[in-house]
Amino acid sequence: MQAVQRTSPMTASFLMVAAMAIIGVIDNFVIRLAEDIGLWQFHFTRSLLMLPLVGGLSLLGLGGLRPQRPWVVALRSALIATAMLFYFSALALMPIAQALAGLFTSPIFVLLISSVALGQRIGPWRILAVIVGFAGILCVLQPDPQAFDAKVLIPVAGGLFYAMAAVITRTSCAGESTVALLGGMVLALGIAGAAGLIGFSLFPVEPVPGPEGFVLRGWVWPMGGAAPWVLLQAVGSSIAVFMLIKAYQLGEPSYVAVFEYSVMIFGPLFAWIALGQELGVPQIVGIGLIAFAGGTIALRSN
């Protein structure tokens, strides 16, 4: 007889907060590897390191690797990989607080997509959450109408694609193994990285030095000082995702999802302590507003 999965809200919340703490720390070092290699080489090499680790999650009994609906999983993987490409591009160009704020607009986009495309009813609390979240985005990104910089839209684009992937996950991937979905995402990022490297080898572009050239840089060898940071990303991401998966196994998803927003505390806090990235009062307020909006949407969507 199949064992019933026990729930443990306290353990689930601890695992999620720990996972977000790891992600909040390691993502701060993307700017270090961005000084030496490019976005495409980073994702290609990181995927090569992560795929065996994802296979290990399957061996630990967390789920099978073969998807039940390959084309749906492929579409979901492509969308979430696109979101990560935007997010990691933003990490090389702006403080982590701004990059995270843009990515975590995804619950707002999920709500809008669910309402407009799927015809789901939105209550007053979630409408208020969208308004509050949008105000938070403006506080963190601080777009200047007099000197608009399109860079502020890069992480928001990541949030949009992340939201589309989330909608597909909820509507069409309920029966899929979490490990299969994770493996699909890692594989899609590896393929995107390889495609970018091939493209820049066929049509070379002279990138600017430093992190500003992260997106337009082709293959760099030897990887030099970037290699340890890529390894840190691969191992740290695998550990964090393992804990994230376990958290969703042990807790109610709408409850656990709220704790994902702790990354918006850990990331900027570590950036401030270790890297000297300071936050102004408007950005601190904006982070709080986005976290409140996302938490409200998650709880009211139960």
> What is the per-residue pLDDT across 206-227, written as a single tens digit (0 to 9) for each?
878 888 899 999 999 888 789 9
- Residue ranges of the chain whose pLDDT lies below 50: 1-5
Domain boundaries, the chain: 9-300
Query: For residue 61, what is the DSSP state?
Result: T
Handedness of CA 240, 241, 242, 248 (dihedral sign): positive
**What pLDDT is attached to residue 3?**
42
**What pLDDT is attached to residue 254?**
61
Query: For residue 5, what is the DSSP state?
Result: P
Give, in order, the Cα–Cα distances in Å from 149 to each of 22, 112, 189, 270, 283: 30, 25, 27, 26, 17
**What pLDDT is attached to residue 217?**
92
Dump the DSSP string for 196-262: HHHHHHHS---PPSSGGGSTT----SS-GGGHHHHHHHHHHHHHHHHHHHHHHHHS-HHHHHHGGGG
Asked if residues 214 and 89 have their Cβ atoms less than 8 Å apart, the reply is yes
**What pLDDT is attached to residue 252?**
67
Give, in order, the Cα–Cα distances in Å from 59 to each of 34, 146, 151, 178, 280: 33, 55, 41, 13, 46
> What's the whole-number average pLDDT of the chain?
84
Q: Is the pTM for the entire model greater than 0.95?
A: no
Candidates 83, 81, 86; CA nearest to 194 is: 81
Asked if residues 150 and 111 have their Cβ atoms less than 8 Å apart, the reply is no
How many angstroms separate the CA atoms of 86 and 78, rounded? 13
Place of tokens 């939105």: 122
Place of tokens 């029966």: 175
